[in-house]
Amino acid sequence: MTASALGANIYSDIFFIAFKLPNLFRRIFAEGAFTQVFIPAYAKSKHRAVFLANIFIIFLSVIIILSLLVTILPNIATQVMAFGFSDEIITIASPFVAINFWYLPLIFSVTFLASMLQYKRHFATTAFSTALLNISLIFALFFSQDKSGEEIVYYLSFGVVIGGVLQLITHIIAIRQLGLSKLVYGGFKYMRVKSKKVAHETKKFKTQFFPAMWGNSTSQVSAFLDTWLASFLAAGSISYLYYSNRIFQLPLALFAIATSIALFPSIAKYIKNSDEDGAMLYLKKAFWFLAYLLTLSTIGGYILAHEIVWALFERGAFSTIDTQNTTVVLQMYMIGLLPFGLQKLFLLWLYAKEEQLRAAKIATLSLGSNIILSLILIMPMGASGLALAGTMGGFVGFFLTIRAFGAKKFFDILRSKKALYLLGSSVLFTILLLIFKDFMNAAI
């Protein structure tokens, strides 16, 4: 619907820039960085109620101050995110950046409550609430039909904030239904009296969180870097990256992120109880589950990239040329689906062992290689070069993560008949897709 209403032009670029930074933090928080540090720390805390209240107040205060600064100085924030934009476009985009940024404190509150629900092994509310943001954006697009590009971006920006409010309300209801509201209330009630008792736990949490956030955000920071560099390219380049990345994120979220979120509490408990064999058993099952799904998704996404983009986007303001440009970018992203997805799985091991700093070093090296490759590939390949650089950076991160996990343990997982089944399935699936592609092209 967004592609149909806005297409791939300066107004779509402006909205994706405005939504980029809060969306970046949403994906970093929601996809595990906060949860992977909070759950082990929360489990070990002797004063859980006060600990969670203390963490919530500290983080939310910083985020609200940051949101106020962006509201007061939106031009500076916009220029940081889209340095290649002209002064005129930055002036147009600034109000949208300020509006969208208020999604950040909302989604942090959602992630905080979601972490409590996950500790109780309740995942459904968080999974469902993600759809509320999309539903809010769909309504925004519906009510902004036949309006100008600038008006549509206003509707979408307020739709983002409304979606965040709906997500927060849903989690508050779930917290009450599961009987956790008393714990939350008690934590705030006794925080002043007992805050010193959790000072050490809070300090340790903050020490571990920032390396975990950095280590868990390579693909998100990579996508943000792509957007920043794409602002120097022709109008529409940011949109090509956004549309193709949305498709790339679908199997990554459905399979890799969902699996890692559901698996982490179990892995963390086994590691905490010094039962690595039990943790490894879960990890092996998850590995082959993901290996099959992500490999087939990679093959399907690469071979049918044009057909997927055409079916989803080519209508309204989205032209045939936009389809062609988005297709090439999507293919470059899809090559990296397997390493990005499997890396999330093996990072669980490092986080469960509280090796967040090691994960952060891996992320730094991965991102460093991505930056170098982006600067090399942006001129000859444009937006598709940025996507390819991100993919290659993902491979670097994956290999370094396997090295940290243990190459021997990794190859022990690979020594299975399932590897042969995967190879055979991949070859057969490729042949079937090529036949289907020829049939589709003949029909079109």
Question: Using one digit for the tens of pLDDT, what is the confidence trace for 103-158?
Answer: 989 988 998 888 888 878 888 898 888 899 999 999 999 999 888 888 999 999 99
Q: How many CA atoms lie within 13 A of 141 on its CB side?
A: 16
Q: Which residue from 158, 201, 161, 155 is spatially nearest to 50, judged by alpha carbons?
A: 201
Report pLDDT for 79.
Answer: 83
Question: Using one digit for the tens of pLDDT, what is the confidence trace for 9-31?
Answer: 888 888 888 887 777 776 666 55
Confidence grade of residue 162 (pLDDT, cut at 50, 70, 90): very high
Tokens of 58: 């500290």
Q: Which residue from 396, 384, 278 is spatially nearest to 326, judged by alpha carbons?
A: 384
Report pLDDT for 372.
Answer: 94
Question: What's the mean pLDDT when you consider all of the chain?
Answer: 86
Question: Using one digit for the tens of pLDDT, what is the confidence trace for 250-259?
Answer: 999 888 888 8
- Dist. CA 203–CA 364, nearest whole Å: 23
Report pLDDT for 56.
Answer: 85
Question: If phi over 0 gives left and psi between -120 and 50 gives alpha, with beta otherwise, what is residue 19?
Answer: alpha
- Dist. CA 342–CA 391, nearest whole Å: 13
The amino acid at 389: A
Q: When comparing pLDDT for 241 and 201, which is higher?
A: 241
Q: What integer is the mean pLDDT of 316-324?
A: 91
